Amino acid sequence: KLKGPRLIHVITKKGKGYKYAEAMPTDYHGIAPFDIETGEAIRQEDQDAKQETYTQVFGRTIADLAKQDPAIVAVTAAMRDGTGLARFAKEFPKRCFDVGIAEEHAVTFAASLARGGMKPVVAIYSTFLQRAYDQIIHDVSLQNLPVIFCIDRAGLVGEDGPTHHGMFDIAYLRHIPNIVVMAPRDGMELEKMLQWAMGRKQAVAIRYPKAAVYSHIPASTFHPIQLGVSETIREGRDLAIVAIGSMVSTAVKIADLLSEDRIEATVVNARFVKPLDGAMLERLAAKIKKIVTIEEGVADGGFGSALLEFMERENIKGVTVKRIGLPDQFIEHGRREELFKKYHLTADEVSQTIKRELFDR
């Protein structure tokens, strides 16, 4: 009933009323099925659980790099454990900053650190980085500051539901000047991208999913990372599949399936959303007239759209481009493999789409 401004300061106790959650709030923040009487998780067989994840690769690599370079600092927004920074925080407590649920501040703070000569790594989930969109533009990119954005949970996150799917980061980052946008094909490439990004004098965004890092691509095929240069993994005459990030391994499977139907596909690991490998695209367009792009993100305004824009800008004609990605809608709760199947992003589904729409089979 008071008149004028009022401030109510409330302290939240996570898990209030359930003793197990009160005692272990981090463990119960995102919880799998559990026995309510004992608090013990009900274990489910999960092949991915046996594999190292992108998050774990990031956490291990950034801690190793920090040992070699005292200028590296980490910034996160109330997701230190979720983004894989637990080891970094333990080994370098004075160089790890958790600013709380304030992504906007995290990005502006990181910009200030970069301006002061540090090498800030901002680790935030894709869906939450949206909150700092203005700060990415004005405080980082406009100042052309070397902040590294490590964007976890990019793509489908399964059981975390529609608020957590990282669908939009490619679309909302790629049109911002002075920023490089990348996505690794596997864990090894994530390590190499992090190492490469440390030497850049501009903002770099690296996106990766909440998933295991196993890959169907031999490590021996790896080419050193160069700005805006892609990697051709397989050559074929009938079709080119240009994939980004987590979908590169799927693209290799798609090529194998198409080969069974005598359709030979070139497979390209784009590596960069921005800048695109224009020389590669011009070479492809000169010899292959059917190109498919595939991404784990919304198709509208995404990686495939960037490729189409390049074709228009360079006046490249006579090439059919098929974009494959997530639809223009919010994606519901569900396991990653279920959602990939529902939205036609599995290797089998995409190969069927290609045969039907590009080869009339």
Just list the catalytic residues.
14, 103, 131
Alpha helices in 198-345 (DSSP H): 247-259, 278-287, 303-313, 336-342
Tokens of 206: 């690296």
d(C-alpha 10, C-alpha 14), whole Å: 12
**What gap in Å lies between CA 193 and CA 229, rounded to an integer?**
12
Which helix H or strand E contains 296, and what residues bound it?
Answer: strand 290-298
Total count of residues recorded for the chain: 361
Distance CA 134, CA 142 (A): 11
Collect all residues with Cβ–Cβ distance below 8 Å to 309 and sequence separation of at least 6.
Answer: none
Could you tell me if 91 and 63 are in contact, meaning their C-beta atoms sit under 8 angstroms apart?
yes
- Residue type, position 263, single letter: I
Cβ proximity of 284 and 313 under 8 Å? no
Q: Tell me if 176 sits within 8 A of 136, measured CB to CB.
A: yes
| Proportion of the chain in helix, strand, coil states, percent, rounded to 5 | 40, 20, 45
What does the DSSP 8-state code read for residue 32? Answer: -
DSSP 43: -
d(CA 121, CA 95): 11
What token pair was written down for 148? 């590294």
| Location of structure tokens 């290799």 | 252
| CA 333 to chain centroid | 19
Give the tokens for residue 131: 């909150």
What Å distances lie between residue 174 and 106, 190, 206, 329, CA to CA?
20, 19, 12, 20
| Cis peptide upstream of residue 275 (ω within 30 degrees of 0) | yes
